[in-house]
Structure 1
Amino acid sequence: MKLYYSPGACSMSPHIALLEAGLPFDLVKVDLKAKKLENGDDYLAINPKGQVPALGLDSGELITEGPVIVQYIADQAAAAKLAPANGTAERRQLQEWLGFINGELHKNFSPLFQPVFDDTVKGFFRTRLTSKFKFVDGALAGHDYLLGKDFTVADGYLFVMLKWADRMNLDLAEFSNLTTYKARVAARPKVQEALVSEGLMKAA
């Protein structure tokens, strides 16, 4: 498999999932502005959406959209327990969290990365994001991870959003559950491996 990624982007979520799953894969870095790979190839010829992540399968198929990719990865390594079994109530809960993170956190971060928006617009989205993180903080009360005791692909995705919050100087210090949760996920060896591989953390 090949994971098309950009350092620190949402593609870190499937990167973490692949490492946690113990599946073999190659990392292919994408310049999102130029839409080029490091070797100069046109990324749009591979993924016309021009976004990351994208997962190239050995069959030649390409999977896009993060929530779909991470569930595919989890299903290839059931023993890693990165997602509950298909058709269960727990799987639906995982899908709810993936949908929430994608639609309510990920998409609300997008305006903060756009220089064309002024501080008033960005302030609106910062306030909106804070309210969404408050909800997550409450949901984490008494839980190690989003679904309880087990780390799942939804946790990898939420961790990336928390890294984005740091990048955007979004103050989440009042949310103690989120603070301890972030530290717990950050301490996982495979999460650290992803951060080092993407050049976002120095190797120990």
Structure 2
Amino acid sequence: MKLYYTPGACSLSPHIALKEAGIPHELVKVDLRTKTLASGEDYSKINPKGQVPALALDNGDLLTEGPVIVQVIADKAADKKLAPANGTPERYRLQEWLTFISAEVHKTFSPLFNPALTDEAKQVFRDRLAGKFRYLDSKLAGQDFLMGQQFTVADGYLYTMLRWADRMKVDLSAFPHLTAYKERVAARPQVQAAVQAEA
């Protein structure tokens, strides 16, 4: 497998999944500003969406959406229990979390990266994020991970977003369960390995 990534981007989520799954993979760094690889190759010829992550499978197929990519990775290492079995109520719950993180958290962060937006406009999105984090904080009370006591690919994705909170100066101090969760995920050796590989 080959993961196309950009340091600090949402591609950290499938990178964490690959590390946790123990699946051999190649990392290919993408410059998102120029849409080029280190070799100078035009990334848009590989992924016309021009975004990361992208995962090239061994059969030549290319997947380009993070929530799908992490489920494929989890299914290829089912013994690691990074996702419940397909077709189970628990798998639908995992998909619900992945969708929430993608549609509600990830997309709410996007405007904060836009230098053209005023600080007042960005504050609207920070306030929206606070509401999402309040919900997550309530759900994490009394459990280690989003799905209970088992780490899943949804946790790698949420952790990636919580790293963005630091970067965008979104204060998490009002959310003790979420803050403890972030520290718990950050302490995992494979999470640390993915972060260090991208540093």
TM range (shorter): over 0.9
| Structure-1 separation of matches of 2:153 and 2:111 | 25
The Cα offsets for residues 36-89 of structure 1, whole Å up to 9 and x where unpaired, read as 001100000000000000000111110010000000000000000000000111
The alpha carbon displacement at 1:120 in A equals 1.5
Q: Secondary structure at the match of 1:30?
A: strand
d(CA) in 2 for partners of 1:48 and 1:83?
Answer: 29
Structure 2 residue 21 is the aligned partner of structure 1 residue 27: no
**2:4 corresponding residue in structure 1:** 4
CA positional deviation for 1:7: 0.3
Quote the Cα distance in structure 2 between the aligned partners of 1:23 and 1:126.
Answer: 36
Q: Secondary structure at the match of 1:144?
A: coil
Secondary structure of the residue that 2:83 maps to in structure 1?
coil
| 2:46 equivalent in structure 1 | 46
The alignment partner of 2:145 has SS state of coil
* Helix, strand or coil at the partner of 1:182: helix
Q: What does 1:179-190 align with in structure 2 at a 5 Å threshold? A: 179-190=179-190
The TM-score, its normalising length taken from structure 2, stands at 0.99
User: Which residue in 2 is equivalent to 1:149?
Assistant: 149
Q: Specify the code of the residue in structure 2 equivalent to 1:2.
A: K
Amino acid at match of 1:19: K
Query: Shift in Å at residue 102 of structure 1?
Result: 0.2
- Point out 4+ residue stretches in structure 1 off by more than 6 angstroms: none
Q: Deviations over 1:143-166 (max 9, x none)?
A: 100000000000000000100000
CA RMSD of aligned residues (A): 0.5
The aligned length equals: 199
Aligned positions of 1:1-204 closer than 5 A: 1-199=1-199
Offset, 1:121? 1.1
Structure 2 unaligned blocks of 5 or more: none
User: TM-score normalised to the size of structure 1?
Assistant: 0.97
Instruction: Name the SS of the counterpart of 1:29 in structure 2.
Output: strand
Percent identity (aligned): 66
